Amino acid sequence: MQYKKLPNADLNISVISLGTWVFGGDVFGKAEEKDCIEAVHAAIDNGINLIDTAPIYGYGASEKIVGKAIKGKRDKVIIATKCGLKGKGPGITIDLSANFIKQEIENSLKRLETDYIDLYQCHWYDANTPMQETMNELCGLQKQGKIKYIGISNFTVDAIKEAQKYADIKTLQGHYSLLERSIEKDILPYCQQKNIGIITYGSLGGGILSGKYEKEPKFAGSDARSFFYKFYKGAGFEQSKKTIAALKEISERIKKPAAQIALNWIRQKPGILSAIAGARNSIQAAANAASADWELSPQDIKLLDNAL
């Protein structure tokens, strides 16, 4: 495993992180708790130290499973969780008010069975709460020792700049993969300029970049692959096939799995601190971690750059 230093901080973060949205068991199909715990253990055993979760994942289920999995291993992991989403199903709303954050942090600490969160992230930008209110609350949690560092997720450049007026923003978590590259336009360059580490989610396009889908799959309406990721149906699926074809061509030539190639493409990009990859079992977690053991050639990176 390779590690990168969080800018201006005392954390060295694995270039591949474990994502736990699937642990919630509500939007990626059923997840067995035993398998999820084994995935965390396999990730740690293979050098992954950043575990990313959120209260909204299974409405607390993901955090609870992570809490169980890291018992006796807390010193080996960097816990990243989030705040700011409430409700269920189509009724989810954004709330980064001080009062809601106060509730969120206490619930997360209890579920994760820890005294502090290493990286506490605003899940989505809240247009209805003053940024100063949000950041003042997070800075207060830092002073109390309940969180170490402040991160943001799904913020525009303007929102990042506003947040920086009131707090030291260490990371931005953004949607980035071979199939979703919009942050390259302004967010990635800005974060590089300001020394903000970028952590990517959706790094495998919700799993489609594994190359396992030969035909357009059908998922339940509640499955994130039917509403959050746009690569699984219609024109999105047709477009994704071109990129997946390039992945498979490289995979056959260098004898590496397509998913590892997709993760390598991200982690070798300048400005990327870590690429989050979800896993529902120990085998997937170990395979994702192995992508940090080798490098894509500049020629293959360029081939993938041009595949979309």
Q: If we measure between CA atoms, which residue out of 116, 107, 83, 112 comes closest to residue 97?
A: 83
Catalytic residues: 57
3-state secondary structure 135-175: HHHHHHHHHHCCEEEEEEECCCHHHHHHHHCCCCEEEEEEE
Q: If we measure between CA atoms, which residue out of 165, 101, 87, 86 comes closest to residue 131?
A: 165
| Residue 256, SS3 per DSSP | coil
Report the distance separating Cα 117 and Cα 79, nearest Å: 6
Report the distance separating Cα 221 and Cα 32, nearest Å: 21
Torsion over CA: 163, 164, 170, 171 (sign): positive
First to last CA, the chain: 28
| Residue 252, SS3 per DSSP | helix
Domain 3-305 has CATH 3.40.50.300: no
Per-residue pLDDT of 70-123, as tens digits, reads 999 999 999 999 999 998 777 889 999 999 999 999 999 999 999 999 999 999
Measured CA angle at 254 (ends 249, 260), to 5 deg: 85
| Residue 212, SS3 per DSSP | coil
pLDDT at 111: 98
- In this structure, are residues 138 and 169 in contact, taking their beta carbons and an 8 Å threshold? no
Task: Please report where in the chains the tokens 């642990």 appear, as a residue.
Answer: 23
Task: Please report where in the chains the tokens 């450049």 appear, as a residue.
Answer: 157
> Which residues of the chain, if any, have pLDDT below 50?
none
Domain ranges of the chain: 3-305
Strand 50-52 and strand 78-83: the pairing is parallel
Report the distance separating Cα 12 and Cα 168, nearest Å: 18
Per-residue pLDDT of 194-215, as tens digits, reads 999 999 999 998 888 887 877 7
- In this structure, are residues 118 and 148 in contact, taking their beta carbons and an 8 Å threshold? yes
